[in-house]
Structure 1
């Protein structure tokens, strides 16, 4: 039900989560990080936040941020490093892919499709999760060794998330038909709900990747001083 606060005990979802964890277990590097990331991911999909995201666009954005900013970096840390070293081109490609998918699934057409098709709904979650893990793996693995590559990727990701958040916050009218009548029970008009979602995307999302860029800048400056 739109806006219901029940937990999601769908057995197929449980099977999928357990199967996914089993597949990832063979590539484990840090057991605690992997388990923590999988627990956060499961919580985002099973807790009442998932149900609330049917009624409120802001809750959907919040669910995405939990997956992208909490679950994804933990999973990236938990998985074994790739065989080949992380390159600047690889980090740039990951940042570009993440940006394309983030904007795609928050445009009206694809967003509406997730309410009409289970396939579209799970394609949204899986593609965003995969892109976020790919990006975080690049950023985290190269943070100490290639800060000059992490810095522009972090800044670009912070900028594009801020731009998307600003677009949603300052849009003059609601652009997501599924929430036309579902927000009122929660004391929000559809436009207010959309603005709240935009602010969540703009501030926490932008700050997280701006922090990554700042950390890379500090590392790069220290390396420059040592070289001098």
Structure 2
């Protein structure tokens, strides 16, 4: 049996979890400087609240014991990735002035890049590599967050119909990947084969839970954003029609 040692440390057992804070000084410095820089860019109280929320979420994901939990459970790791792509990234985008969040490339390009990146890192061999090397691990985190940032920035500047289309495509691809993971007949993710039993799951049950998280709650986040934008567009159309 191979001993996996991810960035967040060896897989904990339940009794050890609450003591497993990640106090990596380089990480804490990066989070502090990044949050300070984004705070300075914010132009109004709402943007500042979004930056505070993004900093709090980053602390939960990378500093709190949840980081260690993601070494034990693939379902926690998938939750981590979903929160990066569907919560942290839009918090960062909408916490900045629109011109500061603008990146080159169309919404179609960023929709494809986000989907390809998410699928790539959940290929079993590439996922295992990320839990074997800190450099590959941080490549995973930065590319998932970065392509999601580009996607949400493109949604922000797109027309309502284009934004809804991009979000619906993201809903479908996230659900499809989740379904494939859910219905796989065997455990696919080697780093978690022997880490789930202390938590009351078999490796396959943990993997199925991860697939369901990706299939339903994560896809629902993109769908909810699409519905909000569609509702606002319809309200604008009604106001124009009655003006």
TM-score, normalized by the shorter chain, greater than 0.5: yes
Matched-pair contact (CA < 8 Å) for 1:38–1:75: no
Identify the residue that residue 32 of structure 1 maps to in structure 2.
Answer: 49
Identify the residue that residue 161 of structure 2 maps to in structure 1.
Answer: 148
- Aligned-residue offset at 1:67: 2.2
Distance 1:190 1:224, change over 3 A: same
1:2 matched to 2:11? The reply is yes
Matched-pair contact (CA < 8 Å) for 1:8–1:46: yes
2:98 is paired with a residue whose SS is coil
Which of 7, 11, 21 is the matching residue for 2:35?
A: 21
Which of 99, 103, 106 is the matching residue for 1:90?
A: 106
Identify the residue that residue 104 of structure 1 maps to in structure 2.
Answer: 120
Matched-pair contact (CA < 8 Å) for 1:68–1:129: yes
The CA distance in 2 between the partners of 1:58 and 1:84, in whole Å, is: 31
The CA distance in 1 between the partners of 2:142 and 2:102, in whole Å, is: 25
Which of 89, 104, 110 is the matching residue for 1:72?
A: 89
Which of 196, 205, 224 is the matching residue for 1:192?
A: 205
Distance 1:36 1:196, change over 3 A: same
Matched-pair contact (CA < 8 Å) for 2:101–2:153: no
Deviations 1:184-223 (A, max 9, x none): 1111111100000000011111111111222233334445
Matched-pair contact (CA < 8 Å) for 1:68–1:128: yes
- Aligned-residue offset at 1:23: 4.0
Q: Which runs of 5+ in 1 are unaligned?
A: none
The CA distance in 1 between the partners of 2:30 and 2:96, in whole Å, is: 18
Matched-pair contact (CA < 8 Å) for 2:102–2:154: no
Q: Which runs of 5+ in 2 are unaligned?
A: 1-9
The alignment yields a C-alpha RMSD, in angstroms, of 2.2
Q: How many residues align?
A: 224
